[in-house]
Structure 1
Amino acid sequence: MLTTRFSQSARQGPDPTRFRSVLGHFASGITAITSRDAHGNPVGMAVSSFTSVSLDPPLVAFLPGKSSSTFPAIADRGTFCVNVLAAGQEEICRALSASGGDKFASVAWRPGPHGDPVIEDVVAWIGCTIQAVHDAGDHHIVIGHVDDLDARTEASPLLFFRSGYRHLAAA
């Protein structure tokens, strides 16, 4: 096993506003991470920090903020569904980004392989079991084992770029 350690430095990095602005120049897809709380109610959060990790075994990762009020319910359940939002699903992103209230009041969904919400008309969904959670500054790195997945080949993704929603242009 390869382990690399980097020394901690007292060096100051860029201010958070500049950091966010510059990294906002990297276009990313938007996912809705969904699960159920202890009472069986749907819970979810909009996340753009999602990535594939490994083909063998099949692993993915997402990075929720430590201040998230939704992630503890997902962690307690131990399963989640990654919903890759489609162009035109900005309202779902906004609903799942809001604090409090019934985030799923206007979101159509069906139970996925673990009973976690699969949102209707998404580009793809990925049902996962939490394999590990790592500490990473003001976020967690959540590694999920992929248990089931599916995609719609005709759908286009919703993108986030420079603080705004974007869609792919037709070629």
Structure 2
Amino acid sequence: MSGSRLISRAVIIGLILFTAGCISLGEKFKPVALSDQSKALVILYRPADLCNLTDPLYFLANGEDVATLGNNAYTHVQATPGMYVIEIKNMLTRYTQFDQGREIFEFEAGNTYYIKYHRICKLFAPDTNFVDAIDQDIALKELSKMGYSKPIIELLTNPKQY
């Protein structure tokens, strides 16, 4: 194989991996300390998957945009204690009522929460989407491979009463 052909194949493979989210440009995960004990720390993350390779997902809290995460990415925000509906939307469902993963969480002051989006891909049926609170030990192992994405907002201030 000629040198130029080898280089072009390497570039193509690199582009495929980059768009698939297997290569993250953000800073790798570092544990975050809660600076204000009157707030909760919420770490939102999205492991790499092949279902939505290049589609960014929007994380919302009580209808407010919090972060946009690509494959294999995480972010963190502080939250005023209270109840939050964390939901996921993509570019097509962002302005609709279509549910791509939604769950109610209660964030308490002084605690850290690890919220993960994941999905089960199905070939001949709709995918199943989840938003779950994950145990710290499991979350830290998964997060160690992810890149940081800056949140849209730094503080959740719109808790609801349910």
- TM-score category by the smaller chain? under 0.3
Question: Structure 1 length normalisation: TM-score?
Answer: 0.25
Q: Identify the structure with the greater strand proportion.
A: 1
Of structures 1 and 2, the one scoring higher in RCO (CA 8 A, sep 6+) is 2
Larger Rg computed on CA atoms:
2
Question: Structure 2 length normalisation: TM-score?
Answer: 0.26
